[in-house]
Amino acid sequence: MFIAMNRFQVKTGSEQAFENVWATRESYLSSVPGFIEFHLLKGPVAEDHTLYSTHTTWADHAAFDGWTKSEAFRRSHARAGNDTGPSLYLGHPKFEGFEIIQSERKSDAAA
């Protein structure tokens, strides 16, 4: 499996606008072969920003690559910028991709 993550430094005071962009987007992920799961994560708060991360799990790296080259990817990222005013971000998002080497899950864990 493959995990793709993007980290966003969202300017202080822009957190709700950022979350609204994600809540109202059309992701198209469920129609993409190899897609497993998506999470939007909210992390620590710093003086000038709040850290967020998107986390998607894919069957393999090839499935993720297929997503990035698809029409669904282009459609889902059409609103990736903030069209309602100034930038919500400090700098550009940072992408990180990981091959899963080992996993462990509690057998009776909720899905």
Residue 82: pLDDT over 70: no
Residue 93: pLDDT over 60: yes
Query: Which tens digits make up the pLDDT trace of 24-81?
Result: 888 899 999 999 999 999 999 999 999 999 999 999 999 999 999 998 888 887 766 5
Please return the burial class of 103, using the count of CB atoms within 10 Å of its CB with bins 0-12, 13-18 and 19+: exposed
Query: Which tens digits make up the pLDDT trace of 4-23?
Result: 999 999 999 999 999 998 99
The pLDDT, as a whole number, for residue 83 is 58
What domains are defined for the chain? 2-99 (3.30.70.100)
The partner residues of 52 in beta bridges, in order of sequence, read 8, 42
